[in-house]
Amino acid sequence: MATLVQRNVSTFEPPGDGATVSRPSQTAPSPAPAADRAVKVRGLTRRFGDREVLRDLDVDIAAGEFVALLGASGCGKSTLLRILADLDREFVGDIEVPVRRAVAFQAPRLLPWKTVWRNVVLGLSDGNRARAEEALEEVGIGHRADQWPKVLSGGEAQRASLARALVREPDLLLLDEPFAALDALTRIKAQELVGELWQRHGCAILLVTHDVEEAVLLSDRVLVMKDGVIAHEEVIDLPRPRDVADPAVARIRGNLLDWLGVRHGTQGNV
Ligand SMILES: Nc1ncnc2c1ncn2[C@@H]1O[C@H](COP(=O)(O)OP(=O)(O)O)[C@@H](O)[C@H]1O
Ligand SMILES: [Mg+2]
């Protein structure tokens, strides 16, 4: 059954290029985006059948800002990410996102019949081996360029997935629980890598995670989603690199766990 959709999606090139592209919409295009903004979401509603998963949601992400999104399983985090990634258009509301976006999911989603470097530049019109190798070097697996995906470890495959996202030089990087399937040690290394890549590339990041500690260690701001809206936001104004043993980190973590309805002293995963 067709859903009645009223939406307006604007994509923009960062300042300098100045282009604004509007996709088919029933409302007038939004005004040119502010130079310092990566994402603007207003009144975003997404229903599945009778269920309203996102409910008149507003979100802003500044250019270059690292935002983590927490919330109970099934609360709509991936739904928001998929809309921002243009993988779902059945919504109501207005969003502004940069033209150059890239996404990485929990599953690396590499094509098994293509070598690692070809996976990295898949779909890029100007994707060549040198660009793929550069991205693979950056995530620490340059030596895997000619391998098949099946020989990669879980951590390596996730790094390849990150390389595939970075090679697109995104202004907005959307990460949906990218470390959730990794073992603890590999996850810590992957988290550090993402922190480094973010500092080097300067893109905005929206990281969906169920790991409260990860959110506090990496991000500028943490959003807590509940009942289809952003129920709480926490600005993490602490110097980097951050340490889980820092009492300030522990305090923010505890506060977020309260918002998530999880008691203190638990693992910190929701
Ligand atoms: N394509 C879909 N069809 C029907 N229901 C969906 C679909 N995608 C997600 N949902 C439902 O929307 C809710 C939010 O899903 P999701 O955004 O994946 O949650 P989260 O990522 O926060 O765990 C869930 O109840 C899920 O079952
Ligand atoms: Mg999800």
Per-residue pLDDT tens over the stretch 81-112: 999 999 999 999 999 999 999 999 989 999 99
Average pLDDT over residues 177-193: 92
Amino acid at 243: D
pLDDT bucket at 22, cuts 50 / 70 / 90: very low
Amino acid at 93: G
Average pLDDT over residues 110-123: 96
Which atom of ligand 1 is nearest to 82's Cα?
17
Average pLDDT over residues 4-17: 62
Q: Can you state the angle between helices 129-138 and 154-166, rounded to 10 degrees?
A: 120
The yes-or-no verdict on residue 133 having pLDDT over 70 is yes
Query: Quick check: helix, strand or coil at residue 259?
Result: helix
Name the CATH superfamily housing domain 64-92+171-270. Answer: P-loop containing nucleotide triphosphate hydrolases (3.40.50.300)
**Closest by alpha carbon to 39, among 218, 170, 219, 172?**
172
Alpha-carbon radius of gyration of the chain:
19
**198 vs 204: CA distance, rounded Å:** 8
How confident is the model over 36-46, as pLDDT tens digits?
A: 999 999 999 99
Burial of 180 (0-12, 13-18, 19+ CB in 10 A): middle
The yes-or-no verdict on residue 5 having pLDDT over 60 is no
Could you tell me the distance, in angstroms and rounded to a whole number, from the CA of residue 147 to the centre of ligand 2? 30
Our measurement of the distance from residue 247's CA atom to the centroid of its chain's CA atoms, rounded to an integer in Å, reads 27
Cβ neighbours of residue 261 under 8 Å, at least 6 residues apart? 72
Least confident stretch, 7-11, 49-53, 228-232: 7-11
pLDDT at residue 23, as a whole number? 32
**Closest by alpha carbon to 139, among 162, 172, 157, 109?**
162
Our measurement of the distance from residue 183's CA atom to the centroid of its chain's CA atoms, rounded to an integer in Å, reads 20
Domain coordinates in residue numbering, the chain:
64-92+171-270, 109-169
Protein residues within 5 Å, CB atom, of ion ligand 2: 78
Average pLDDT over residues 209-236: 96
Ligand 1 is surrounded, with C-beta below 6 A, by 48, 53, 71, 73-79
